[in-house]
Amino acid sequence: MITRTTLWAGLIMASAGLAACGGEPETDNPAEEEAAPMDDAARLDAILAGDHRTDEERARDQYRHPKETLLFFGLEPDMSVVEVYPGGGWYTQVIAPYLAKGDGKLYAASFNPGGASERALAALDSYRETYVENPELYGDIEMTALGEGEHIAPEGSADLVLTFRNIHSFMGAGMADFAFEEFYRALKPGGVLGIVGHRADGADLPDDGSTGYLYTDDVVAMAEAAGFDFDAASEINANAKDTKDHPFGVWTLPPVRRSSAVRGQDNPGFDRAHYDSIGESDRFTLKFRKPIAADGALLE
């Protein structure tokens, strides 16, 4: 098992390698160089290169740009962060070790387990066993839920709430408004909401999220209706190859690579080559902020 100690020993070595390439200034004293603190970008580079990530997981970096995305959202090591609907933990593998080094805290806010299918509950158990029960590597992770009667984090406690490619799911479940209100409730005044989603802009698609794609203006409107101020947008996760006219919505593309109208049922005659050549979807990357008044009080 990879431990927190072995991970960070590897991170220090990786940082030294980055320094030799111009990422950090070299020193004349190797001991001083090893003890020199890493900046945020170098620390993320080291985590992304860590042995706790598989080659398959690293292969997605070219589409998801985790370092650039997390720096855009303002992630810092001592923050209290909520990752909403972390799924299998692709981003958890980056965020959690980063926070563990700086005594930060991660809330993993998944679905409400009440009434969930056996498959969903098994996925939740797998997440718990992989991340929550491995604090030496992933630090302090507290599992919470997004749902009626549940809270993703204590009110006004989070510096940063993040959700990656999930807003369409909230819309499909009829809980998008609730989700944005809960994001707002959990954040401190001045805290940041970071959203990455499949972008429908430039295509003629339904606006209900049924294809997985959403229009940027609609997501901005939902966030602002909950009280957020729009802060910034980035093209970090744009993909100009994505024509968005796929037979099974965004799920036709990697990593899902769906080939039939029935989920989980492959069509052996389906030609995946075109869709695989596109890569993962075109995505918006949006940053919102919970407002504060001039005196630091929460704006109502």
Per-residue pLDDT of the chain (300 residues; tens, 9 = 90+): 444 444 444 443 443 343 334 343 343 443 333 444 578 899 999 999 999 999 999 999 999 999 999 999 999 999 999 999 999 999 999 999 999 988 899 999 999 888 889 999 999 999 999 999 999 999 999 999 999 899 999 999 999 999 999 999 999 999 999 999 999 999 999 999 999 999 999 999 999 999 999 999 999 999 999 999 999 999 999 999 999 999 999 999 999 999 998 888 899 999 999 999 999 999 999 999 999 964 445 554
Count of the separate structural domains present in the chain: 2
Q: What's the CATH code of the domain at 107?
A: 3.40.50.150
Considering the domain architecture, whether residues 122 and 96 belong to the same structural domain is answered as: yes
What's the whole-model pTM score?
A: 0.86
Query: Which residues span the domain enclosing 125?
Result: 55-244+281-289
Cβ partners under 8 Å of residue 174, min gap 6: none
Considering the domain architecture, whether residues 18 and 76 belong to the same structural domain is answered as: no
- Whether residue 268 is contained in a domain is answered as no
Return the structure tokens found at 285.
């990357």
Nearest-5° angle of CA 61, CA 65, CA 67? 105
pLDDT of residue 138: 97
- Whether residue 257 is contained in a domain is answered as no
pLDDT of residue 37: 56
